[in-house]
Amino acid sequence: MTRKKTIPTCLIAIAFIALSVCSCREKTDVEAEAQKMFTEIRHAVDDERFADAREMIDTLRTRYKFALNTRRQIIDYMPVLEYRQATHDLAIAKSADSIAADSLEKMKKGFVLEKDSRYQSVGFYMTPSQTSSSSHRTCLRGEVSEDGKMMIISVVNGKKLNHRRIRLASSSGITVENGNCMSFLSHSEAGYEEEATFMIKEGDSLLNIFSNEPLTVTCLGNGQTSYKLATADRNSIVSCCDLFNQFKRKDFTKHVVDSLSTKARFYSRKIEEQQ
């Protein structure tokens, strides 16, 4: 009868302890390396190198999957990063918004604000050569409201067309047509005259054609009439386009400021909740 060889229990225990020690040492080394990178991340945030900080966070999460303690610290630290970057970007956005506001106010000085407070809550900016007090004539007139909306007013003097569509054509063959008439009125104070108002939106193809000269304007209604757009009128409308675009730039910078302010407040509250 043969005896089975058995491994002494003490050897098994020693092997288990050795494996445990190696495993603990490995985990300790991983945490130590992850902590070094976490320190670098905090330094990057302090130096306002937010893109570098985010890149290192992604690297840490990929490289040190078992550094559980450091990974938990990263989760708790994210609101700090978000808050610091939001406040940094907010300062830049406020500066840009202030510059846009100053530029807008300077541009407004080249216009006349027409507003009758008795029945108008919003006035309109026009160039001096195109104010409503100018001599009545067939033309295109540009206006920008106080709240940043742009209109093109098509005036036809002496002809009853009931026109609600205009077509502009350049000598190079570019043609743009607009039939989005938002209002129409006619009167006979100084001979028959009618006005069709067209709202202009950001990116409207009608805005680009005014950089061309000469332009032929065709007013379309029950009949039609065409004329060459005067250089002075074209220049006035181009000025209105510039003012309209500056309003849009100001609107954009304000939107960015509001968005970043909301983000900064949100993460400020998150940080307070963690404390």
3-class SS of residue 188: coil
Hey, which bits of the chain come out as E strands? Answer: 112-114, 124-126, 139-145, 150-157, 165-170, 175-178, 181-187, 193-200, 215-220, 224-228
Model pLDDT for residues 83-128, shown as the tens digit of each residue: 999 999 999 999 999 999 999 999 999 999 998 878 888 999 999 9
d(CA 168, CA 210): 9
Indicate the pTM of the whole model. Answer: 0.81
Model pLDDT for residues 176-228, shown as the tens digit of each residue: 998 889 999 988 876 889 999 999 988 888 888 888 778 999 999 999 999 99
Say what the pLDDT of residue 74 is.
95
